[in-house]
Amino acid sequence: MIVEETLVQELKTKTTQAQAFEVLVRTYKERLYWQIRSIVLNHDDADDVLQNTFIKVYKNIDSFKGDSKLFSWMYRIATNEALSFIKKRAKIQGITDSDYQDKLVSNLEADVYFEGDEIQLQLQKAIATLPEKQKLVFNMKYFQELKYEEISEILDTTVGGLKASYHLAVKKLEQYLKND
């Protein structure tokens, strides 16, 4: 178990920075990867965004004031990077974010790194219909099993609001899957 304050201090010190960064990447890469992957869906895009996230963390570690946990801060950067990535790609293709996300879901059928069955594919289609906030909360709670308190710090939303969003998302997804 790493002590966050020590790690942050080491990251800010030139002589210990490289080693501390390796520890940081080793500790958080998988969790951040799954957060990003749940947004961009495709592995190659998730890899790009994950690398950019760590580069951003590395370059901006001095601006990390410690108001939130390092983990929450990085999660926030990862989430923002992934969402911006989607928006940028949609803009390049001249389509709306929502259309781009539909396209991502339909690409899953031919994706070698998606081994989901019909129900899992339907679930991704259902998730794509949710509003952005509900989508994020559902993925973070259901698949990544983050605590409400952690999600609250990452998304800067009250625990009560998150519970409501999650509950609504689950109901909508169940409805979608039952009707399908």
CB of 67 to other proteins, least distance (A): 26
Nearest CA to 41 out of 95, 94, 120, 150 is that of 120
Which one, 32 or 70, has the nearer CB to other proteins? 32
| Cβ-contact 159, 152 below 8 angstroms | yes
Which one, 44 or 149, has the nearer CB to other proteins? 44
Which positions touch other proteins (CB under 8 A)?
A: 22, 25-26, 29-30, 33-34, 37-38, 41, 43, 47, 50-51, 54-55, 58, 113-117, 119-121, 123-124, 142-143, 170, 173-174, 177-178
Which one, 121 or 164, has the nearer CB to other proteins? 121
Which class for 67: exposed (0-12), middle (13-18), buried (19 or more C-beta within 10 A)? exposed
The phi and psi torsions of 42 (rounded to 5 degrees) equal -90, 140
CA distance 111 to 129: 20
Which one, 47 or 150, has the nearer CB to other proteins? 47
